[in-house]
Structure 1
Amino acid sequence: MSSESAQQPPRSSSPGPRASRTNRVVCTACRQSKVRCVGTENEDCARCMRLGLDCHRDTNFKRVSKSRKIAELEKQVQLLTSAFTGSSNQSPQSPQVSVHQQSHVPPSFASQPTPPAMLTRTPSQDVSGRTVSRTPQYQNPGLQGPSVMSIFHIDESPRPRPGAALSRSIQSAYLTGQTIDELFEIFFEHYHPALPFLNPAKSPDDYYDSGTILFWVIISIASRRYTNDMLLFPVLCEWIPKLIWESISSPPYTIPMVQAIILACTWPFPMPSMWNDTIVTLSSIAVSTAMQLGLHRPLNATDFLRKKATADENDSQTRAFTWAAANIVSQSIEATYGVLPTTPFDRTIEASCKPGNMYSLPNILRFKLAIFRYCNRISNLVCRDLTDNGDPFSPGTPQTNPTLSWVTELLEFETRMQSWKQKYRDQLSFHDEIYAAAAAVYTTSMYFFDSTSSAARKHNILKAYRTSTSYIQLLTSFDQTSNYLLHAPSYPLKIFVLACCVLLKVLRSSYAADVDFEEGKRLCNLAIIAANKSSVAPQDSAGKVAKMVSQVWHSGDLRPLGEMPVLMVKSRLGASILYDFIWTWRQEFGGQQGAYPREGDGMEPETEDILLPTDGVFDDASMVDLDFLNDPDWMESITNSIG
């Protein structure tokens, strides 16, 4: 045995007395968070002192589960939101309709009838037995007023937008944070008010993180008139359309992608030819993708997602606003391109157009949606009537049935539209006034489908002429005060061209004796100037139209001056007169004589391919079979078109 071992004291076989421990009470904050509490009962623990928490100890304290606490907080948020958005005399104990709650009919309204005027959601149960909200159903009109408020609203109080923290680049375009802030300010000040469905308070970095395509489309729109860098827009015109199509070809799809397509359809990139234009296709993709994402059911997002969606008011509002914007854009393209719209105008849209229910949109969107719903029903009515009467739309030939029953109904619609404008005249913005005037131009242009020589036809076409002159005067007056044409969406500008075509059609016909010819000539000159002003690139469609109008005006063909105005093109709905003007120019200046030969001039088409046979043109049910529009589950009666 070593000396060291000998020096060690002997170990005791029995353990010695252990140090005494006191029972220390953990503070309530640390116990709730299930963390170690370092401190004594006479002083605050280290964690509470570091976090600035109220440190106290309670031996009877029990932890509250997070799910229960979150549920209580959600309930408090619902009550506070209802109290804030409701009337001043409404108590928090009787909250208004929100995302999570169904409306209750007061006893005083229990005996009243239930017309299809109000919408609420019918509750059902999920697999856990919890009540959830499903498809909108018609509800009692007694809910109008303070007891039923829309769950969608816009905070009109100005809030500063956070600045861009990072620079961005795409291909050869490099943007500093300051440039990005300037372009976002331009977009939300000059462009966004025409279709306000995005959040102006959201920072550029948040837009970029949510979807790069939406960020770059906003930048490209704002750069259309950006004087600090005139070369930016041409560069973006080359790359942003490619980025859009790359996003479309790379699912899964997102809401920002749909929003980007909507903006690209509202302020399209310049195209050298209308035959290269993809706007109609893009708008159809926006609508179908929006439906795939469930935007047409903003309160039932979970039904269209892989995971359960959180009942977030901002998310529901984003979905509802984007769906409304998709409908507006689809209808505007239908009107200016002469195609049937792809939007279904479902019950959500029907309810959104009407005030006083939980689906009602703010006026800045609701008015535009109601106007385009009106145009949609006029288009469906006219197309169905012409098809049912067997009109083959054969170029240069009279209609098979000259008696058009839709003329009377169109007059009734005009009366309803005037009543609607009178009702909301103090609430319409100047954008709404322009859209309403554009709708009047579009619908009255339908009178040119009447090929009879009756006095009623002449009266209606002269009405279309007056409507067009009023629209041109309205647009030019707004442009003089606010440079509207520099930032206007595509729809008002195309209707502006359509109105100019109406003027040319009447002034170059026997009806010219019934109007102020010099005033009409002056307005045509204004239209040419306006078209040049709205042009954003050399040789774009606006600049070409200005040249075409001036050429047709100075045309040497004097034959139309002694004839009543008739259409050669009759298959493009309200845009038929625009395409009729294009073919008039092509025949005289575009080297395509004889495409639409006049009766008695002895001219024949140059080739058999130019004039297509008209038999069976409307056999495609997807184009003109509109019987499904009579389904009450899909669309309300046409007589209730104006909400």
Structure 2
Amino acid sequence: MEREIDLLRRNIQRAKAQGFVFDDEDQLQSPVASSYSHTRNPSLMGSDEAVSSLLHLKRGGGGSYSIPRVTHELDTVRLTDEAVNQLFSEYFTFYHPFLPFLNPAQPPDQYEAQHPLLFWSIIAVAARRYRPNPTLLTTLSGPLMHLLWTTIGEVPTSYFVVKALCLLCSWPLPTSTTSSDPTHILCGVMTKTATMIGLHRPNHSQDFSRVSVELNREQLHDRITTWAVCNIVAQNIGTAYGQPASTLYDWTLATKSSGDGDQVNLSPELEARVQIERFCDKVSKEMYSNASDPRGVAGDEHRAMLMRVYRRDFAELQAPILSQQLGPVVNLHLRAAGLHLRLAGFFDSSTTPGYMDDLMGLWRATTAFLDELLEVEKVTSPPETARGSILLYATNYIQQMLVAAGFALLKLLRSFFAKTIDFERGRTLFHQTIQAIRATSVAHNDLQSRLAELMVQMWNGARVGAVPDSDYDMTDESPIQIDDSLQLKVRCRHSMSLVFDSIWRWREEYQALGRGTLDALKQPTNPDSANESSASSSHLDSTLIPPHGLHGNTTSGGNTSGGNNGMLGPANGGGLTPVPSGLSAPVSSAPSMMGGMGYGGETNYDFFDPQHWMLDGLVDFTYNFAPPLEGA
């Protein structure tokens, strides 16, 4: 535009040399964009209008020539100040309460000045449900991942990078195959970066720097808060993914105020969250880190003793936190910690002392977590609007615990234990849990929606030979036949072993026998629909057995269309070698995040898959979002 303006200026100079006459008024207004009332060359008429418009655009003026001014760019992503302000408002309104460690009063430009990765991470989190531009997250994911790995590759020395990683671990960018989910790796990078730059020793930062570092009280508080959130997030990832947590609860987080005026304390909410996650850390390390067991699980007697100890610890933790009335997010994480503890009940055998008591404790912890979540959802999401819904903005950790609670209900209600509880209440709660899991889905056909569908089909007996509710007649006074049907085969993933074990069970007992399929995601199955007929339940699942061929058409606008509506290709004969697959599914009840994406690529099945290799290939979209090849 500037070059064109310069060219037009030269043309005007040549026009003046040819005898053009300026009006005095126009000359005063603009020596470049002036009007000419007389000319000996009519073919040059109108150039002044073009110059005026170009100058108008260059100056960012309003009027008929104004266009939105792009102020922030990341590769192909371009945002105006208005969009950035809206996105930051979205983040601090809906996401900030889950991790209250950033400053809402700080302007977006200051976050960008601190570090571009932090700025764009906030944008990415806010883009998850951003209604004015539903495809923003899709467009942003590739450039942001490039910026992320470039930043990590350059060995970051800024604690603002740690803040960005806290956000990206809590609200990961969308991915379909769990082996391509870098959250567990990023969590390790986050904690190692934090210790490398001395966040765990904020009063002695100079020990980790080549230059002298002097922090004022505000800077010191910010670093302590960031270190606390770093540990909270690391523990959440460890618990949710069934992996050892890379946390460090040492002096910095253990120190209490002793009247020292220089002592910097966390906010009551974050202090409570740290206490809750320290409890989860103790449970994981003691219950699932037995050096004498190849799977790390404590023996039955030792686990029973630990359960008694931690039951008391949890009661002592719960009372003061609830009395402070710190808000629904803190209470929800407290209930999640109780569920994390009680899920160890599935490791017991029927001969373990207090077996039925442990199962009852598990039932109560499960219902307490779900009741807390659903009650908060009812309060924050009135019927006329879903914008306040806590489920729409929940962290990855809350989503994983919700799935674990759903599978716990499913397992307990379809066992001998159902005779000891209010089955109808459990059934209703299970239905509500399915709806809640589907609400957390950010895209049609993603892992959350598929897990919900899988859960429903297990409840219905995969539509074939379902166990009728009449088998759980509460008036039946016959003795309960206790067996080992509730024990887990998968036992290496801590409290999340239940989730992975349930997926194996579905595959072996339903999907492999042709009784289960996830094709029903086009029209999600309702619980208790076992008597409904379904053509899709008569063949092997075409998603867990990797499909072949690309399906679906994409429009130029990035939205998907076509008759497949999210259906993947047919099974490839039962092989386990993944091949490229495509997806063409519109979003249901959530902004579109998958339109126009390309899918495929080879999957690596390794031990650190956060959702187990069984779920790989369900929705093959990765961070580069390459478009599908023509004619593929």
Give me the TM-score of the superposition, normalised by structure 2.
0.63
Q: Alpha carbons of 1:469 and 1:238: their partners in 2 closer, same or farther (altered >3 Å)?
A: same
Please say which of residues 544-553 and 557-566 is displaced more in the overlay: 557-566
Deviations 1:169-210 (A, max 9, x none): 223322110111111111111111111111221110011111
Q: Alpha carbons of 1:302 and 1:440: their partners in 2 closer, same or farther (altered >3 Å)?
A: same
**What does residue range 540-559 of structure 1 map to in structure 2 within 5 Å?**
540-555=446-461, 556=464
1:410 maps to a residue whose letter is M
1:581 maps to a residue whose letter is S
Please say which of residues 187-196 and 252-261 is displaced more in the overlay: 252-261
In the alignment, which residue of structure 2 is the partner of 1:369? 274
Q: 1:434 aligns with which of 320, 325, 332?
A: 332
3-state DSSP of counterpart to 1:425: helix
Q: Alpha carbons of 1:251 and 1:554: their partners in 2 closer, same or farther (altered >3 Å)?
A: same
3-state DSSP of counterpart to 1:174: strand
In the alignment, which residue of structure 2 is the partner of 1:230? 134
3-state DSSP of counterpart to 2:118: helix
3-state DSSP of counterpart to 1:366: helix
Q: Alpha carbons of 1:298 and 1:581: their partners in 2 closer, same or farther (altered >3 Å)?
A: same
In the alignment, which residue of structure 2 is the partner of 1:242? 146
**Are 1:351 and 2:351 matched, yes or no?**
no
Separation in 2, partners of 1:489, 1:402 = 33
Q: Alpha carbons of 1:363 and 1:355: their partners in 2 closer, same or farther (altered >3 Å)?
A: farther
Q: 2:504 aligns with which of 583, 586, 597?
A: 583
Q: Alpha carbons of 1:263 and 1:165: their partners in 2 closer, same or farther (altered >3 Å)?
A: farther
Would you say the 8 A contact 2:460–2:466 is kept in 1? no
Separation in 1, partners of 2:272, 2:234 = 16
Cα distance, 1:380 vs structure 2:
1.0
Would you say the 8 A contact 1:331–1:376 is kept in 2? yes
**Are 1:280 and 2:184 matched, yes or no?**
yes
In the alignment, which residue of structure 1 is the partner of 2:433? 527
Deviations 1:360-401 (A, max 9, x none): 3221211001000001011111124x443x4657xxxxx9x9
In the alignment, which residue of structure 2 is the partner of 1:458? 356
Please say which of residues 560-569 and 227-236 is displaced more in the overlay: 560-569
Cα distance, 1:251 vs structure 2:
2.4
Separation in 2, partners of 1:467, 1:415 = 14
**Are 1:181 and 2:85 matched, yes or no?**
yes
Would you say the 8 A contact 1:273–1:540 is kept in 2? no
Deviations 1:302-329 (A, max 9, x none): 1111211123222212211111111001
**Are 1:303 and 2:207 matched, yes or no?**
yes
Higher relative contact order (CA 8 A, sep 6+): 2
Deviations 1:418-466 (A, max 9, x none): 2332223232221110000000001100122122434611210121012
**What does residue range 148-187 of structure 1 map to in structure 2 within 5 Å?**
167-187=71-91
In the alignment, which residue of structure 1 is the partner of 2:365? 467
**What does residue range 416-427 of structure 1 map to in structure 2 within 5 Å?**
416-427=313-324
Separation in 1, partners of 2:148, 2:399 = 24
Deviations 1:210-241 (A, max 9, x none): 11111011011111111111121221223222
3-state DSSP of counterpart to 2:356: helix
Would you say the 8 A contact 2:199–2:223 is kept in 1? yes
Separation in 2, partners of 1:276, 1:236 = 17
1:378 maps to a residue whose letter is V
In the alignment, which residue of structure 2 is the partner of 1:214? 118
**What does residue range 15-54 of structure 1 map to in structure 2 within 5 Å?**
none
Would you say the 8 A contact 2:276–2:317 is kept in 1? no
Cα distance, 1:409 vs structure 2:
2.8
**Are 1:570 and 2:519 matched, yes or no?**
no
Separation in 2, partners of 1:165, 1:485 = 34
Q: Alpha carbons of 1:455 and 1:346: their partners in 2 closer, same or farther (altered >3 Å)?
A: closer
1:473 maps to a residue whose letter is D
Would you say the 8 A contact 1:272–1:539 is kept in 2? no
Would you say the 8 A contact 1:407–1:447 is kept in 2? no
**Are 1:251 and 2:155 matched, yes or no?**
yes
**What does residue range 306-325 of structure 1 map to in structure 2 within 5 Å?**
306-325=210-229
Would you say the 8 A contact 1:271–1:541 is kept in 2? no
Deviations 1:87-141 (A, max 9, x none): xxxxxxxxxxxxxxxxxxxxxxxxxxxxxxxxxxxxxxxxxxxxxxxxxxxxxxx
**Are 1:193 and 2:97 matched, yes or no?**
yes
Q: Alpha carbons of 1:289 and 1:383: their partners in 2 closer, same or farther (altered >3 Å)?
A: same
Would you say the 8 A contact 1:351–1:359 is kept in 2? no
Separation in 1, partners of 2:228, 2:304 = 29
Gaps of at least 5 residues in structure 1 are 1-163, 394-398, 594-606, 610-617, 619-643
Cα distance, 1:495 vs structure 2:
0.6
**Are 1:509 and 2:407 matched, yes or no?**
no
Gaps of at least 5 residues in structure 2 are 1-67, 381-388, 472-480, 515-573, 577-606, 608-632
Q: 1:264 aligns with which of 164, 168, 189?
A: 168
Cα distance, 1:284 vs structure 2:
0.7
Please say which of residues 187-196 and 554-563 is displaced more in the overlay: 554-563
Give me the TM-score of the superposition, normalised by structure 1.
0.62
Cα distance, 1:166 vs structure 2:
7.1
Separation in 2, partners of 1:568, 1:558 = 23
Would you say the 8 A contact 2:370–2:433 is kept in 1? yes
2:367 maps to a residue whose letter is T
Separation in 1, partners of 2:176, 2:321 = 40
Would you say the 8 A contact 1:267–1:490 is kept in 2? yes
Separation in 1, partners of 2:352, 2:465 = 25
2:208 maps to a residue whose letter is F
Q: Alpha carbons of 1:284 and 1:172: their partners in 2 closer, same or farther (altered >3 Å)?
A: same
Q: Alpha carbons of 1:165 and 1:206: their partners in 2 closer, same or farther (altered >3 Å)?
A: farther
Runs of 4+ in 1 over 6 A off after TM superposition: 354-357, 557-562
In the alignment, which residue of structure 1 is the partner of 2:528? none
Cα distance, 1:288 vs structure 2:
0.4
In the alignment, which residue of structure 2 is the partner of 1:410? 307
**Are 1:518 and 2:424 matched, yes or no?**
yes
3-state DSSP of counterpart to 1:168: strand
Separation in 1, partners of 2:467, 2:498 = 18
Separation in 1, partners of 2:487, 2:267 = 42
In the alignment, which residue of structure 2 is the partner of 1:202? 106
Deviations 1:219-277 (A, max 9, x none): 11111111111121221223222321121112243111111111001111122122221
Separation in 2, partners of 1:518, 1:459 = 21
Q: Alpha carbons of 1:484 and 1:407: their partners in 2 closer, same or farther (altered >3 Å)?
A: same
Would you say the 8 A contact 1:402–1:452 is kept in 2? no
Q: Alpha carbons of 1:442 and 1:355: their partners in 2 closer, same or farther (altered >3 Å)?
A: farther
Would you say the 8 A contact 1:270–1:541 is kept in 2? no
Please say which of residues 318-327 and 229-238 is displaced more in the overlay: 229-238
Separation in 1, partners of 2:212, 2:259 = 30
Would you say the 8 A contact 1:336–1:575 is kept in 2? yes
Percent identity, please.
29
Separation in 1, partners of 2:494, 2:258 = 30
Q: Alpha carbons of 1:208 and 1:294: their partners in 2 closer, same or farther (altered >3 Å)?
A: same
1:492 maps to a residue whose letter is I
